[in-house]
Structure 1
Amino acid sequence: MKRFLFILPFLILVSFSKINTVKNSKTIRITPKSELQINGTSNVKDFTCAYEIQNLNKPIQIHYEKEHDIIKFEKSVLILENNGFDCGGKGINKDFHGLLQSDIYPRISLTLKQINLKSHKKNMADALIDIEIAGLTRSYHMETTYQNLENWLISGKLKLNIKDFKLEAPKKMFGLVVVSDEIEISFKLVVEES
């Protein structure tokens, strides 16, 4: 019985140690060599809205813990100001901001939730991200590639439907020009640790 009483505090300590696991934190910066764009189509012409990467010059704090091939993140958010997108002209920029309801919802947020490294595919991972557009948040899985050379190079593409966010594609010229509901977010991020 005395031996059990000696071991009991140790067992309690070990059983609760998983609850308060230590999180890792890093500060990263997205370099000007990066690219991020939204691509769309219409029945007349394709369009690209490129993000001005210099708007992402502030350091970003990420919090994570790794267990085997799974990395879980907390409070790891990338904020994109809608006015940082350039679609190539005043008219299409106005349509883009109208679509995103930029006057009410001026930013898009991308929250990294989890990465599953693919051990059977070199430099490939499945990322789970939450995307908030126009006040609505949806979760998506996205296949990404990564390399660690001098800095991290992370790239990927994600197709999504704007109707998932209750957005309505603009129609022009009395409905003769119709923009597709499906858009593609593509990125090549060069990330350095601060």
Structure 2
Amino acid sequence: MKRLLFILPFLILVSFSKKNTVTHSKTVRITSDSKLQINGTSNVKDFTCQYNIQNLHEPIRIHFEKEQDVIKFEKSVLTLENKGFDCGGKGINSDFHGLLQSDVYPQITLELKEIKLRPHEKNIADALVEIEIAGLTNAYQMTTEFYFEENWLISGKLKLNIKNFDLEAPKKMFGLIVVSDEIEIDFNLVIEAH
């Protein structure tokens, strides 16, 4: 099963060759110290849907090549099972899965396309990511931060509008409670190289 987290390339930054274009492959693992969640708001209360990182226990193979400060990726996909998200209660979990049409589209996929390093900004890079939700795919640019301690630490936030995926936010109590169309993907990942 193909899986790749869209921000994983940072973990191999120190191993690039000096050649202009070289194809690389690496195997990585997302540790249990990682966090991935989707945040949303309504006119009444904010909510958070936490992803169970234990679902990402298998090693992930990534393929990439680097040209100066640009890293391009091929077949670098992370698959998130919708059932892995917990929003804190049976009712809101049901609403979340209804919104994502989990019965028809049980997964969210994130495909990393490109990373642009910022040579004058330490530990910052821009990523181009394609996200597929409910059968529709959109491309997004996002900023990430990365650090190396014992493992790679990678973090970032991406705001997106669910209407871009032809999804409609649920309304409750005859429309008195309205969920915002804007959601945020928030991640703090700890990544080991194998």
Q: What TM-score, normalized by structure 2, do the two folds share?
A: 0.88
1:88 equivalenced with 2:88 (yes/no): yes
Residue deviations 1:146-182 (CA, integer Å, cap 9, x gap): 0122111110000000000000000000000000000
Corresponding residue for residue 152 of structure 1: 152
Corresponding residue for residue 43 of structure 2: 43
1:27 equivalenced with 2:27 (yes/no): yes
Residue deviations 1:118-146 (CA, integer Å, cap 9, x gap): 01110000000000000000000000000
Residue deviations 1:82-117 (CA, integer Å, cap 9, x gap): 000000000000000000000000000011111000
Corresponding residue for residue 73 of structure 2: 73
Larger radius of gyration: 1
Residue deviations 1:33-69 (CA, integer Å, cap 9, x gap): 0000000000000000000000000111100001111
Structure 1 vs Structure 2 CA RMSD: 0.8
Corresponding residue for residue 127 of structure 2: 127
Q: Secondary structure at the match of 2:93?
A: helix
Q: Secondary structure at the match of 1:98?
A: helix
CA distance in 2, matches of 1:111, 1:54: 20
Equivalent position amino acid for 2:120 in 1: H
Equivalent position amino acid for 1:71 in 2: I
Q: Secondary structure at the match of 1:96?
A: helix
How many residues are paired up? 174
Corresponding residue for residue 102 of structure 2: 102
Structure 1: unaligned runs, 5 residues or longer? 1-20
Equivalent position amino acid for 2:113 in 1: K
Instruction: Sort the Cα spacing of 1:116 and 1:22 in 2 relative to 1 into closer, same or farther, 3 A.
Output: closer
Q: What TM-score, normalized by structure 1, do the two folds share?
A: 0.88
Bigger proportion of residues as helix: 1
CA distance in 1, matches of 2:47, 2:22: 45
Q: Secondary structure at the match of 1:95?
A: helix
Corresponding residue for residue 164 of structure 1: 164
CA distance in 2, matches of 1:43, 1:103: 27
Equivalent position amino acid for 1:41 in 2: T
CA distance in 2, matches of 1:104, 1:165: 14
Displacement of 1:22: 4.7
Q: Secondary structure at the match of 1:179?
A: strand
1:61 equivalenced with 2:61 (yes/no): yes
| Contact 2:40-2:46 within 8 A present in 1 as well | yes
What pairs up with 1:128-143 in 2 under 5 angstroms? 128-143=128-143
| Contact 2:22-2:66 within 8 A present in 1 as well | no
Equivalent position amino acid for 2:179 in 1: V
Structure 2: unaligned runs, 5 residues or longer? 1-20
Q: Larger relative CO (CA 8 A, sep 6+): 1 or 2? A: 2
CA distance in 2, matches of 1:181, 1:127: 23
